[in-house]
Amino acid sequence: MIRLKNPTKDQFENLPLNTRCPCSRISFPYGKFISIQTTFHQICSSELVSNRWFKAINLGANATYFPQGDFQTFGSAQFQALAGFCRLSKVNIEQRMNSFYLSTFLSPQVLSETDLQSQVQPLIDELQLTAPNTFNNLLRLVNIMIRTNELMNGLLTAATYRYYFFSSDDITLSRVGIGYKQDDEYWCICQIRFCSWSPSGIHKVLNRSIEPFPDFVLWQIPGISSGCLPVHSILLSGLECFYNQPCLDKLISYFPTNETFKVMNDTEQSRYYPNSTVQAIVDKLMIEDWITNISYINYYSQCAPSLCTYYKVSRHSGVYVLIKLISLLASLALVFRLIIPIAVRFIQWLKDRRTRPRTSICARFRTFLLSIRNQLVELNIFRHYPSTDTQIRHQRYATRLYILLFFISIVILTIYTLSQGSIQSQTIFNPSQSEYIQLQQDYPNSLSCSCTSDSMPYSTFIELQPYYHQVCSSDFISKKWMTYTHRMKFNGVHHFDYRAIANTHFQTLSMFCQEAEQTINDSLRVFFETEFVSLNVISQQSFEFHINSLIENWKFKTINTFQRTVRLVREITHGNQLSNGGFNSIANVNSITGKATIQARSHGVCNCALNRLCGIETAIYQKYQFFIPIMTYSLPNFFTGCYTIEALLASTLECFYNLSCMLTIHNSSHEVASEPFTFSPLDKNLSQPNEAIYLIVYRLMVDRWFSNYSFSLYYEKCAPSSCTFEYEDNHHFGHVVTTIIGLYGGLSLGLQLIIWVGLRFIEQILLNGCSILVVWHLLKRIFSFNNTHKLIRRLHFILVVAMLLVFYRITVFNLYTTSVEIQNITLSNYKDLLEQSYDSLQCPCSQISIKYKSFLNIEPRYHQICSSDFVSNQWILYLFNRAVHINELNQTDFYHTAYGQFQLLQTLCKLSIDAVNQSLFQLVESDFINIELLSPNLFENHIQSTINEFQSTMPHLFINTLSLIREMIGANMLLTVFSTNWAIETPSALFHGKFAHTIPLDYQECNCAVSFKCISPSRGMLSGCYPLETILQSTLECLFIPTCINITNNFKVLNISLVNSSRYALNTTVESIVNKLMVEEFANNMSYASYFNLCAPKSCSYLYDNTNDKVEKITTLIGLYGGLSIICLSLSTFIVKQFSCRTQRVSSITD
């Protein structure tokens, strides 16, 4: 194994593919190495989205006098909507990119530049797909809900008011729908559904009717559509006129202004055509181009690997070969010394063979054993001449000791050599799935299989299919049923009669079915197109956990986004008191002054101003007695109320599971009773009849999901070309044999030398006694020399020792990789291992998927306003009663809209808390997937990064949805019951059938027809066009002062002492607080012990580099000793003889 410390980027790029380089920081934000820039459609930087343009084409109080379809009525509103789309697109992209920049990129190992691109680019592609898709789903849903509630707008483009005289003292304003002639020549009445493209132009007449004046059109504006609401009509429009200066000049000439404007540049390179519809541009978030930069240098500096290791399969080094050869030399010499004499004698025996007397096999065997016994008894390898009998006996004992020690040593060293192993690397090419699974089971820690296709769309291996509620495929959303319910309605039918509201309710139900299916299909399309990045094959268990978590997370996000949008629209519609001109409000006319006022309607004792859920059960009314309708049949839990959506969501479909109930309604309706009833009821076995419709809608109309994912398809697409794994194995047979043979010679000679020296000591001690002087003389004799033979022996000894020391120095610093595995690991054991700084420490988790809630707890603390009296129902009722009892209250007075503002503040608190709780639920219920145990530091850093990302990105979806709703309400100029943005103009003369007109209100020189965010101060608070915009721009300073808005003793002001500990200043606007979801702080608690226990590693393994261990050193030196002994003997003999020859030659010359 090769190790490289602190590698540079250039060094890393030249390392082999199997290199492991752990990052010193395994997690860091994407923003550290990625930058994304966007360019937007030129309309967003043109004069056509400026206030100067809005004012130039705004006719203010005269706007509603023009016929429907006249650009002078709605042109300013259309371009305000266009400006809103630009703002929303930029904010969405900015927040999306900030979220992406803050999200954590996990990189346990350094990735190559190619792998980094492969892993990151799909995430950028996903961002580019999901951002427009999410925005368009929200936009479509918000617009449909606005249209479904049949909300009126100040421009009166969808419906208008008409004066009806029942008597001179009884004058009312009734809502009248407006129709548009579409490009297919069909008429479209603005009710539930949106009308398609209708021509827009400048008209000759100044008159409003319920039908357009096609013969009085002065000029039809190219591309621009008219329609029920400005937002929808601008989406259908094209902008070709605004690339053409003469066309723009002609258009501006019809307005009373001297302003001039420049068109857009039609030569500028764009992905859109001049005649592209605004919808087509908005579908792509008005983006022209994405410019992405992935900096590998920045990534590498963030990763900052401190060590790289890789296995290199190569030939043994020269030193290793030399050591082995030297080790084998003595062993082979000894073996040959034994074999050659035996071979020679055998050959001589063959040559000298003669006939001998035959003896039995048993006799031969006894003779052979006796011969062996005698040889063993008389064996003496330490004999020298002359030797006494005592010395010979000692020499034979020494020989037997030598044989015993030799065999014991050989056995011990053989067992040790056999037991030792080394880390081996093996590669299998083109493994099948079954082979991979087996390898994964056998080598889970080291197996690495690189994918040939490292990214693939989720559709490759995932199936996901929703099964919708049966109503979405029933007769009740069919065209036939819509026609049937429309025909049931007749003039004079009571507005609480089922037949009056059935068509609207079922069209709304159909809308929810269609919108749910559209939302799921769009989200599924993006989900399936999203790339699954897999540089290496992941285990089947990890794959299943990851994909299952991915699917559940996608379902939660999709459903939660839809549900949150529906809730926000419902709450803001009610909080702003948006008028539908009928069920939630009444327009009364003072018969003397002619002034019209709009008031909230009551249903029984429930007032729509205070409760959006006010409603009553629908019924069949047949007769009138004293102008009071008589109910003949009541539909169970099928309601009508303030708003169409509220009434429908509160209802159930019980009657429509019951054929007799349906037939009763049918037979009670004279318009259809004579026709056969051909509609089928819903099946009680498929769903619950008494389930509220809002529960069905809030789960996206889905009853159940079918999901399936295939590891086989994933593996097939990944298609690894090879799998590499490391394992520890015993030395192969050849290595063991050569090692033992090498040990034989060195061990034999070494033992002989040691025993011979010991024998000489014993002989001298027995001969001369034991004293220091005797030992000194013996050592002196051993190391003294007085003849050539002794000189050779002394030099031989010195050379052997010197060479052994040299080889010891060479081998002692060789690094050997050792693998250690520890079973039954505990937390304390693991921390001890971490303190020893093992870079390769690996502890596989036995449970790779852990819920965040198991080790993480996050508790939010909210702004004190959300727990104060100012968001209580009692406070709102107090403000409502106060407004009612103040006669002739001006629309610009704070008290006129105070209860609406605080209703919205209450709503924002509730929705913010719900949004936080849902996000927290999603986080803690999601799976933390990790194959290996993280160290405490890495764990804390990773979880803290997750928490930081959560806190930063959590408000985005809520705020984006809220901003979208605000823009759509403002651009459509929806009329509020408070009449604070547009008010009904008091006519100079009244007559039956006259159309009413509206005028926009001003707040400090800001006109509600030009900006829906106009405000002015009032009573220490604010008033403005809409209660929502007003409260968002307000501060809470007044609520800290008891006398500010005349608070009674029943309500407590906010606690001023808490401001010092708050993240918000005293003058912070409510919008700034809402942008943080009302959160003051998050208290986080993470438990590493809980995480460790759930990960439950059964074992930990690590590699460490070590010099040869003691046994290895001894065996190496023993092996070297035998060979070096022979080599050094030859070398010393040669040196001594050469020296002797030179000495003798010098002596001869001198003589």
User: 773 versus 464: which is more confidently predicted?
Assistant: 464
User: 730 versus 882: which is more confidently predicted?
Assistant: 882
Q: What pLDDT band is residue 915 in, cutting at 50, 70 and 90?
A: very high
pLDDT of residue 396: 76
Q: Which of 100-104, 771-775, 1065-1069 is predicted least confidently?
A: 771-775
- DSSP 3-state of 312: coil
CB 515 within 8 A of CB 566: no
The CA distances from residue 798 to 751, 874, 923, in Å, are: 18, 106, 75
> What is the token pair recorded at 514?
């269609």
Distance CA 618, CA 498 (A): 5
Residues 289-312 pLDDT 10s: 999 999 999 999 999 988 888 766
Distance CA 441, CA 539 (A): 9
Distance CA 179, CA 191 (A): 9
Distance CA 24, CA 30 (A): 16
Q: Is 1082 exposed, middle or buried (0-12, 13-18, 19+ CB in 10 A)?
A: middle
CB 644 within 8 A of CB 618: no
Q: Which helix (H) or strand (E) holds 562?
A: helix 540-575
Ramachandran category for residue 979: left, alpha or beta (phi over 0 → left; psi -120 to 50 → alpha): left
Indicate whether 886 pLDDT > 60.
yes
Tell me the average pLDDT across 145-161: 92
Residue recorded with tokens 């794959």: 543
DSSP letter for each residue of 626-690: TTEEEEEEEEEEEEEESSHHHHHHH---GGGG-HHHHHHHHHH-TTTTTS---PPPPPTTTS-TT
Indicate whether 990 pLDDT > 90.
no
- DSSP 3-state of 295: coil
Half-sphere exposure of 1026 (CA within 13 A, CB side): 31
CA atoms 67, 72, 74, 78: torsion sign:
positive
Tell me the average pLDDT across 901-908: 96
Indicate whether 869 pLDDT > 80.
yes
**Would you kindly state where each structural domain of the chain is located, as residue ranges?**
2-160+186-310, 320-354+388-419+731-814+1111-1150, 423-537+612-724, 868-907+916-923+937-973+1012-1086
Ramachandran category for residue 604: left, alpha or beta (phi over 0 → left; psi -120 to 50 → alpha): left
Angle at 175 between CA 173 and CA 178, to 5 degrees: 135
pLDDT of residue 215: 60
Please provide the size of the chain in residues.
1151
Q: What pLDDT band is residue 1133 in, cutting at 50, 70 and 90?
A: confident
Question: What does DSSP say about strands 722-730 and 421-429: parallel, antiparallel, or unpaired?
Answer: antiparallel
Residues in a beta bridge with 976: 578
Distance CA 718, CA 537 (A): 7
Residues in a beta bridge with 1106: 816
Distance CA 641, CA 865 (A): 31
Distance CA 889, CA 672 (A): 49
Indicate whether 924 pLDDT > 80.
yes
pLDDT of residue 295: 95
- DSSP 3-state of 19: coil
Q: What pLDDT band is residue 904 in, cutting at 50, 70 and 90?
A: very high
Tell me the average pLDDT across 1049-1077: 92
DSSP letter for each residue of 1022-1057: EEESSHHHHHHH-BSGGGG-TTTTT--TTSPPP-GG
CB 933 within 8 A of CB 830: yes
> What is the token pair recorded at 385?
């001449």
pLDDT of residue 647: 95
Distance CA 567, CA 499 (A): 28
From start to end of 54-182, where are the E strands? Answer: 104-106, 159-167, 170-177, 179-181
Return the number of other C-beta atoms located less than 10 Å from residue 93's C-beta.
Answer: 23
Q: Which of 692-701, 803-812, 956-965, 1062-1071 is predicted least confidently?
A: 803-812
Q: Quote the crossing angle between the two packed helices 733-768 and 318-351, to the nearest 10°.
A: 80
Residues 830-853 pLDDT 10s: 888 888 866 678 888 888 888 999
pLDDT of residue 570: 95
Q: Give Cα 246 to chain centroid, integer Å.
A: 51
pLDDT of residue 824: 84
Cis before 386? omega within 30: yes
Indicate whether 313 pLDDT > 80.
no
Residue type, 1083: A
Q: What pLDDT band is residue 535 in, cutting at 50, 70 and 90?
A: confident
The CA distances from residue 599 to 155, 276, 577, in Å, are: 19, 43, 10
Q: Which residues contact 488 (CB under 8 A, 6 or more apart)?
A: 499, 502, 503, 669, 671, 672
Q: What is the DSSP letter of 470?
A: G
pLDDT of residue 795: 67
Q: What is the CA radius of gyration of the chain?
A: 47
Top-ranked range on mean pLDDT: pick from 105-109, 277-281, 884-888? 277-281
Residues 578-626 pLDDT 10s: 999 888 998 888 877 778 888 899 888 899 999 999 989 999 987 665 5
Distance CA 938, CA 941 (A): 5
Top-ranked range on mean pLDDT: pick from 104-113, 292-301, 1100-1109? 292-301
Distance CA 1053, CA 865 (A): 10
pLDDT of residue 868: 94
Q: Which helix (H) or strand (E) holds 859?
A: strand 856-862
Residues 539-590 pLDDT 10s: 898 899 889 989 999 999 999 999 999 999 999 999 999 999 888 998 888 8
